Amino acid sequence: MPTSFDISALPDLSGKTAVVTGASSGIGRATAQALASAGARVVLAVRDPEKGRDAARSMAGQTEVRHLDLARLSSVHAFAEGWDAGGIDLLINNACAVSPTLAHTADGFELQFGTGHLGHFALSILLLPHLTGRIVTVSSQAERMGTFDGDDLAWTSGGYTQTKAYNRTKLANLLFTAELQRRLTADGSPVLAAAAHPGFVATNIYAGGSRMTKLLVTLLAQTSEQGALPVLFAAVGAVPPGGFAGPSRAGHMRGAPQLINRSKAAQDPQLAAWLWSRSEELTGVSWHAAARR
Whether 140 and 239 have beta carbons less than 8 Å apart is answered as no
Residue 67's DSSP bridge partners are: 46
Residue 219: its pLDDT value, please? Answer: 47
Least confident of 17-31, 97-111, 116-130, 189-203: 189-203
**Does 170 have pLDDT greater than 90?**
yes
Residue 156: its pLDDT value, please? Answer: 86
- At 63-85, the pLDDT tens digits run 999 999 999 999 999 999 999 99
Residue 174: its pLDDT value, please? Answer: 98
CA gyration radius, the chain: 17
108 or 156, higher pLDDT: 108
Q: pTM value?
A: 0.92
Closest CA to 104 of 49, 160, 150: 160
Q: What is the tally of helices (H) and strands (E) in the chain? A: 10, 8
Residue 293: its pLDDT value, please? Answer: 53
Return the active site residues.
166
Name the CATH topology of 7-284: Rossmann fold (3.40.50)
The stretch 186-190 carries a mean pLDDT of 95
Q: How high does pLDDT run on average in the chain?
A: 90
Whether 170 and 143 have beta carbons less than 8 Å apart is answered as yes
183, exposed or middle or buried, with CB in 10 Å at 0-12, 13-18, 19+? middle
Neighbouring residues of 278: CB distance < 8 A, sequence distance ≥ 6: 151, 153
Residue 247: its pLDDT value, please? Answer: 86
